[in-house]
Amino acid sequence: MSGGIASWGTYLPYWRLQRAAIAGVLGSGGGRGTRAVASHDEDTTTLGVEAGRRALAAGPGAGPVRDLFFSTPDPGYLDKTSATTVHAALGLGRACGAYDFAGSSRSATGALLQALGAATGSGRATTLAVLSDLRTGLAGSAEERDSGDGAAALVCAPDGAVAELVGRGAASDEFLDRWRVPGETDSHVWEERFGEELYVPLAREAFAAALKDAGLAEGDVDHAIVTGLHVRAVKAVTKGLGVREGALAPDLTSSVGNLGAAQAAVALCDVLERGQPGQVIAVLSLADGADALILRTTQALPGALEARALAGVPSVADQVAAGRDDLPYATFLTWRGQMHREPPRRPDPERPGAPTVHRSEAWKYAFAASRCQVCGFRHMPPTRACLSCHSIDQMQPERLADVPGTVATFTIDHLAFSLSPPVVGVIVDFDGGGRYRCEMTDVVASELSIGDRVTMTFRRVWTAQGVHNYFWKARPAVGRAPDEERGA
């Protein structure tokens, strides 16, 4: 069996902003189509967790993940590793390393190459590359209009690969195209013609080097992906790529926007979900230079696609179609911190204490309950004493992050602190036992009903004094739960 990409997962937020809504308020800056928008309680860490959960849900069973590489240009923390939060939320083992790849979107390619190298090199270890981005831009800017939010995760394993890396090429040059200094929230962009003049030859060099490394020609490419934040350069490179007709991958930017660091990986996942064994995929990414990867799909791809379907893992196309596109522009600006609205008449939230959070790490991040080994009663949150049979220290940890449930009852709170009021509180009955009261997200309060099916999602509850308070919320289930589909 060959090594390479063995499993994958993507996450596109539920909300979409109609580009026409921007012009409807500002009088300019709009356009056609929609862009994906992370909710008020999402950041690049939570986006990455959701993609990682899906990548691991139908994984190849190649053993525990030894290293996690998390790449984003917009990390939740600077002087703290965000990858450890992703690691904890995914419930990975204590022996798994967790490392950040920050900086520009080119770091995403570096993270994937690191993961592939660890899986196929002498170490032959299973690794996970998580690539996430959340892009905003000033109100009315092209960045705001054309960008989007999303994440992708790729499990790389020494055996059972669905796609092998057969060639790569790179071209680097130092020039000022896009930049943002520490403390700034929005990027600056130089004049477009300058960037195009530099990117096009770099892309040609990288692509030619990758084909030579793979021993292939342009006509051998079945699927070609060209991504980058420099729109004009991407169009010019795509036009002159030289691949055969019909090989260009579908353009997702009209429906979800340009996902920055996650764009190339999401496009690659979309191609894998449409692909066949033995096909050649070229991925060309423009970011402070150019990187080209040549991959070949294997006979393991159909089995992986079947496993994903059985596990209920949504495809890129499923998520594009499921997005809700009636997000008001004022709400978008509020979520992005560009419109400061009157807060509720309640005390501001306080930052969580580090010792308290660490003591409850398994519950807070991995959403691990406890089940009594004597009577089978499930406790949420976990406890040492059974509420049913009163046994002491007879508990078995049980992760419930991927277990669906049903809304038993709910309440709508118009006074609690939230960037997106009202707050919807629900009591969820989980399949297999266990009841818990939590907040619900990605829901319109008037559309919620008792008996609705829900799944859990990792979110940022609030930020206080520079500390992010992460926990799990419920969200409406899309379609039927995987267990129901299997007849369980």
For the segment 445-484, what is each residue's pLDDT rounded down to a tens digit? 999 999 999 999 999 999 999 999 999 999 999 743 334 3
What pLDDT does 192 receive?
Answer: 87
Matching residue, tokens 């929005």: 186
Written as six digits, the tokens of 283 are: 């991925």
Written as six digits, the tokens of 43 are: 């950041």
What pLDDT does 350 receive?
Answer: 85
What pLDDT does 485 receive?
Answer: 34
Question: For residue 402, is it left (φ>0), alpha (ψ between -120 and 50) or beta?
Answer: alpha
What pLDDT does 131 receive?
Answer: 98
- Asked if residue 168 has pLDDT above 50, the reply is yes
List, in sequence order, every beta strand (DSSP E) within 72-162. 97-101, 127-133, 150-157
Mean pLDDT (whole number) for 200-208:
97
pLDDT: which is higher, 434 or 184: 434
2-6, 106-110, 232-236 — which is least confidently predicted? 2-6
- Asked if residue 210 has pLDDT above 70, the reply is yes
10 Å CB burial of residue 404 (0-12, 13-18, 19+) is buried
What pLDDT does 60 receive?
Answer: 62
For the segment 394-406, what is each residue's pLDDT rounded down to a tens digit? 999 999 999 999 9
- Asked if residue 63 has pLDDT above 80, the reply is no
- Asked if residue 104 has pLDDT above 50, the reply is yes
Mean pLDDT (whole number) for 177-202:
90
SS3 159: coil
Determine what percent of the chain is predicted with pLDDT higher than 90: 81
pTM reported for the whole predicted model:
0.94
For the segment 246-300, what is each residue's pLDDT rounded down to a tens digit? 999 999 999 999 999 999 999 999 999 999 999 999 999 999 999 999 999 999 9
pLDDT-derived band of residue 486, with 50, 70 and 90 as boundaries? Answer: very low
80-117 exposure pattern, b = at least 16 Cβ within 10 A, e = fewer: eebbbbbbbbbbbeeebbbebbbbbbbbbbebbbbbbe
> Could you give the CA distance from residue 206 to residue 174 in angstroms, rounded to a whole number?
15
Tell me, letter by letter, the H, E, C secondary structure of 389-455: CCCECCEEEEECCCCCEEEEEEEEECCCCCCCCCEEEEEEEECCCCEEEEEECCCCHHHCCCCCEEE
What pLDDT does 175 receive?
Answer: 93
What pLDDT does 487 receive?
Answer: 31
Mean pLDDT (whole number) for 105-133:
94
> Could you give the CA distance from residue 330 to residue 73 in angstroms, rounded to a whole number?
25
Whether 468 contacts 84, CB under 8 Å? no
* Average pLDDT value for the chain: 93
Mean pLDDT (whole number) for 346-365:
88
Determine what percent of the chain is predicted with pLDDT higher than 70: 97
Mean pLDDT (whole number) for 90-105:
94
- Asked if residue 2 has pLDDT above 80, the reply is no
> Could you give the CA distance from residue 309 to residue 303 in angstroms, rounded to a whole number?
10
> Could you give the CA distance from residue 225 to residue 113 in angstroms, rounded to a whole number?
17
What pLDDT does 51 receive?
Answer: 98
What pLDDT does 61 receive?
Answer: 58
What pLDDT does 161 receive?
Answer: 95
Pair type for strands 34-37 and 15-18: antiparallel
Whether 442 contacts 475, CB under 8 Å? yes
* Helix boundaries (H) for 227-360: 231-239, 253-256, 263-274, 301-311, 316-322, 329-335, 354-359
How many residues would you count in the chain?
A: 488
Q: How far is CA 76 from the centre of its chain?
A: 14
For the segment 65-97, what is each residue's pLDDT rounded down to a tens digit? 999 999 999 999 999 999 999 999 999 999 999
